[in-house]
Amino acid sequence: MAYETILYEIEGNVLTITLNRPDKLNAATDQLLGELADAFKQAQRDATVRAVIVTGAGRGFCAGQDLASVQEREGAVSYGDHLRHTWNLVLKRLSEVEKPVIAAVNGVAAGAGMGLVLACDLRYASPAASFIQAFINIGLIPDTGSTWTLPRLIGPTRATEMMLTGRKVSAQEAYEWGMLNKVVVNHEDLMPEVNALAAQLAAMPTKGIGLIKRALAKTADSTLEAALEVEADLQELAGRTSDHKEGVAAFLEKRKATFKGV
């Protein structure tokens, strides 16, 4: 698929996906969402990709659904079906990427754009970033899994306040609430820091990272007893990887391990 509204760039083993409608703060049209879903599918399929960065071009990360397109389709498409075929597919494809996915939040993340950030595994932000549960400002409810992810990340008290008020939250506040892993000191530091993190993760046991993600997803709402069983099942798979054997051998031989992601 040829991409027109996103950039898909691979350097080493790191894929950077850049939402690329900067004049509209990367608000998502159906075309962009189709391309993004496809990009996550390729990210999972391509064995050379061992870490993924998602960021935005220009001064915004993503302002959510493109509202001009919402107005254009007024009455023609059901909101539920639209979500099922666009954003939900993006979120599903993203959740199927068994590699680390890092959000590099360069600017405002609003509505479903914020949901996209929450769905990533790690979240780094520029001090220029901000977060808005913008849905209620236009009479909609949070989507893109935000009702599931946000209370888990920052607790129901803060999540409910964000959702009901639609208030803009700064990167620093979001960090203090536990929504972000890090706010870099200067805006210019964001991509260098995220690139370094992604390169570090891309050199780690990729299959193991994928299995950690699978374990976290499977145990998110389970009992301890069920979690123990999930861990035993997935450890079985991790134990069969070449990277596990290499890690043990390297430790015993007192050398640095070279992980190949298999």
Number of chain positions touching ligand T3D (CB under 6 A): 23
Distances (CA, A) of 13 to 59, 211, 213: 26, 19, 19
Q: How far is the CB of 49 from ligand T3D (least distance, A)?
A: 27
In the region spanning residues 12 to 51, those forming contacts with ligand T3D, defined by CB under 6 A, are: 24-25, 27
Element (H, E) at 103: strand 101-105
Q: How far is the CB of 105 from ligand T3D (least distance, A)?
A: 13
Q: How far is the CB of 83 from ligand T3D (least distance, A)?
A: 5
User: Residues, the chain, total?
Assistant: 262
Element (H, E) at 244: helix 242-252
Half-sphere CA count of 146, side-chain side, radius 13 A: 28
Q: Which is nearer to ligand T3D, 24 or 218 (CB)?
A: 24
Q: Which of 101, 134, 184, 211 binds ligand T3D (CB under 6 A)?
A: 134
Q: Which is nearer to ligand T3D, 108 or 184 (CB)?
A: 108
Q: 114, 146 in Cβ contact below 8 A?
A: yes
Q: Which of 65, 146, 195, 241 binds ligand T3D (CB under 6 A)?
A: 65
Question: Residue 118 interacts with ligand T3D (CB under 6 A)?
Answer: no
Instruction: Give residue 93's identity as a one-letter amino acid code.
Output: R
Question: Which residues, 6 or more positions from 125, have their beta carbon under 8 angstroms from its beta carbon?
Answer: 104, 105, 171, 174, 175, 180, 182, 183, 184, 190
Q: 106, 61 in Cβ contact below 8 A?
A: yes
Which of 127-135, 208-216, 240-248, 249-257 is the region at the interface with ligand T3D (rule: CB under 6 A)?
127-135
Q: 197, 154 in Cβ contact below 8 A?
A: no
| Contact mark string toward ligand T3D, 143..172, x via CB under 6 A | x-----------------------------
Angstrom distance (rounded) from CA 69 to CA 131: 22
Question: Residue 136 interacts with ligand T3D (CB under 6 A)?
Answer: no
**Footprint of ligand T3D (CB under 6 A):** 24-25, 27, 63-68, 79, 82-83, 108, 110-112, 132, 134-135, 137-138, 140, 143
